[in-house]
Structure formats: C-alpha cells, structure tokens
Amino acid sequence: MNLKILSWNIWVDGNIEEVKNFLKNSDADIIGLQEIGENPQRDVIGFLKSRGYNFVFAPKEKIWGSHIYKDGPAIFAKFPIVKSKSYNLSKEDSRVAAMAEVKVGDKVLTVLSTHLLHPHQQNSEIQNEQINTLIRISPKKNVIIMGDFNATPESYPIKKMQELFTDTDPKGTPTWSVYPEGCLTCNPQKIDTRLDYIFVSHDIKAVSLKVEQSKASDHLPISAIVEI
C-alpha cells in the first residue's frame, strides 16, 4: 500500500490562506506540520479537521529574541489515531515531538513530527541532546519521523538519523529559506540549505520524495511516497 506523506514548517509568520490552499491540493494521507500556533485567525487545525483529518497537536512555549511564542508540531492523518503522546526532547531550550499511532489497514504506524532547536547551522549540544532523545523514543519498525530538524545533511543529528532510518531524500535537496525574514541572524538570501526531512524505518520502502513549491512559508514543503 502506498501512502503520501507531507512535512512542512508553515512558519508563524506564513501566509495562512496560501498554506491552507496548498494543503487542500496536496491531498496527503499523513501530514506533519511545525510552527502551528493557537491563534484562531490561523486555524490550520480546524481547516484540516473539516477535511476529514484526525490530529495530534503538541504546543510548547518558547522564546525567540524578545518574543514569546506558543506553537508546536502536529500530525494529521486520514486514518484513525489510536494513541498519541507529546515528548520533551531536552532539558534546556526544549522542543517537542508529537507522536501518533496511526492505524492503516491491519498495521499501526508510529508517526512523529518535530521541530528541533535552530543553532544557525552550527553544532549544538542542546540540539544533539534533542536528536538523541528523539532516537531513543522512536520505534525502529513501522515508523515515520519528519519535521524541521534545523540541521544540515552533514550535521551530527542527521548523520545519527541516517544510521538508523532511511532518509527519503539522500541527495539533501535544499528546503530553506524562501524569505530572509525566516532567520534574521542567518539572513539567508536563497534556498540553498536542507533543514527538513522525512525518515522511515527500514521496513518501509521510500518510493520517491519531492521538494514542493510554495511561497506561503520560509520553508518549502516536502512530500514522500512510501510503501508499507
């Protein structure tokens, strides 16, 4: 059975109407989103619920510069969610992983969506702790792990993930940044950095991956066709 998986950091400052339009047209079976807020004017959760998706949402308060945000990762599935949980990934500057056990036919898939700390493409002990925690809580079979890892392909977090899981895009196609405002510290001027990934356990076949096109966020969406 083939499934379409979509992962996207929709950006707290993203164009929400364009986000909704893209999600509607993507028609993905399982979606992992990051930077979903609780602002009723940006109600992506309600929009996807109205389209028949079940969901898990794991908001977390965090500080960026002088701003305090409460947002987090979420998982949406066209299939029943039989169990869900939220995991804190580090003691300091904690980020979270949302987990959903999704029943697809006679199989139960463990799906995780996460958004790691952004150390501006530099080595970070906190980010390394977060990836080690993510690996520890993740099953090694029937699992899909996706999100904004804020880490480049040559970094410790991604190398560790690649040791245990299949990277659906081993070429490391860039996904960031559509807008320089996505990181005032980095001040990116073009889409030349890979930060977003979909990993699957080795018992799931990665058929294809596509870096999608949208100007709704500073990140590009990515989708994968997988065979379970």
Q: Residue 46: what residue type?
A: G
Tell me whether the omega of the peptide bond preceding residue 113 falls within 30 degrees of 0, making it cis: no
Bridge partners for 109 per DSSP: 102
pTM for the model stands at 0.97
Sequence-distant (≥ 6) Cβ neighbours of residue 8 within 8 angstroms: 19, 31, 32, 33, 34, 196, 217, 219, 220, 221, 222
pLDDT, one tens digit for every residue, the chain (228 residues):
999 999 999 999 999 999 999 999 999 999 999 999 888 789 999 999 999 999 999 998 877 667 777 899 999 999 999 999 999 999 998 899 999 999 999 999 999 999 999 999 999 999 999 999 999 999 999 999 999 999 999 999 999 999 999 999 999 999 999 999 999 999 999 999 999 999 999 999 999 999 999 999 999 999 999 999
Q: What is the C-alpha to C-alpha distance for residues 141 and 166, in angstroms, rounded to an integer?
A: 11
Q: What is the C-alpha to C-alpha distance for residues 144 and 198, in angstroms, rounded to an integer?
A: 7
- Upper half-sphere CA count for residue 42 (Cβ side, 13 Å): 16
**φ/ψ bin of 93: left (φ > 0), alpha (ψ from -120 to 50), beta (otherwise):** left
Domains in the chain with CATH codes? 2-227 (3.60.10.10)
